[in-house]
Every structure is written in C-alpha cells, then in structure tokens.
Amino acid sequence: MKFVKYLILPLAILLLAGGCKKDAEAEGPAATPDLPAQAQAKLPTMKIYLGSQVLDTELAISEKEQQTGMMFRTNIQETDSMLFVLPFTMQASFWMKNCPESISAAYITPDGMIAEVHHFEKNDTNAVLSATANIRFVLETKEGWFDRHNVGPGTPISTEKGSLAFTFLHH
C-alpha cells in the first residue's frame, strides 16, 4: 500500500499541472510544457442531479481528460458541463489557460455537496483556489449557470447511480 501512495502522489502532481486547472506551485506555460494543443472530443457522459436540475455531464476521469478539460472549446451551451473527479481530496486549483470562453465552476466535497461556486474568466492563467482542502470534485458549466438555476453552496449532487462518492470513489 505504501508503494501505491508514493505512485499516486506524483501522478496527482502531474495531473494538476495543466489544462483548465493549475497546480498552485506552477506559474505560466514554462511549468506546463505538455499542454494540449486542441479541444478534446466529447467525453462519456452521465446524468447528474443538482437539486431539481439535471445535467448530462461529461466525465473527466483520466489525467489527460482532466489536463485538457474544456480547453479550446467555443460556443459552450447552457446544457454543457464537465465533472472532474480529482484523484484525492485536496485544495482545488483551476485556471483558464487556452479556454476562450468564461465558465462557472463548483468545488464539491467528497460527500457530493457544493462548497463553493466561482466565476472563471476566459484565458485567465491565475489559479482559482478553493477555500478549503476538502474538495474532491469540480463541475464546470456555462458561465452563470449556477446563478440562473438557483444552484449554490449546500446543494447536494448525485448521479443516476447514487451519490458522487458511491459512483466514483467506492469501486
């Protein structure tokens, strides 16, 4: 088990170094030489439930999927969303390098509760850190989606399979 711990930590550090997210230690493109050069194809989706709202959400699970995120995507629609399943509970740190449209994002606790909602300005390379180190999921949506749908901190999120923890953390 100790080996797995030492293997996961370097992978997690690499994961946080690119895409529409950013490691708190990384600054500028020199720290992320392997950034994607184009948008990724639409990822597999799953229905998620946010109070009375339902989104068919793309799932960014792998390191590459998370590094690319919504980079280079244009014409983001009201129904577009992407859920990042972080490799462990942490202080989330996302940025908008190569993201030509502003978005909104919710930082979500391991039990599936929205802790914070943030505005992310297009192409802004400054990290937006979560207020706590208790974040396990991040949900990106069209800019202003959370306000327009009255979804905010304290809203529980679940999937068609159950809680976020059950769906993604207990395999």
**C-alpha–C-alpha distance, residues 36 and 67, integer Å:** 8
pLDDT (tens digit per residue) in 22-47: 443 333 444 455 777 888 889 999 99
Residue 169 pLDDT grade (very low, low, confident, very high; cuts 50, 70, 90): confident
The residue among 70, 73, 68, 86 whose CA lies nearest residue 130 is: 86
- Looking at the whole model, is its pTM more than 0.85? no
CATH number of domain containing 152: 2.60.120.1140
What are φ and ψ of residue 146, in 5° steps?
A: -60, -45
**C-alpha–C-alpha distance, residues 78 and 66, integer Å:** 21
How many domains are there within the chain?
1
Range of the domain at 149: 2-25+36-169
Question: Would you say how long the chain is, in residues?
Answer: 171
Query: What 3-state class would DSSP assign to 36?
Result: coil
- The predicted pLDDT at position 20 comes to 55
Does residue 31 lie in a domain region? no
- The predicted pLDDT at position 7 comes to 33
| Contact call for residues 50 and 108 (beta carbons, < 8 A) | no
Query: What 3-state class would DSSP assign to 6?
Result: helix
Higher pLDDT, 165 or 24: 165
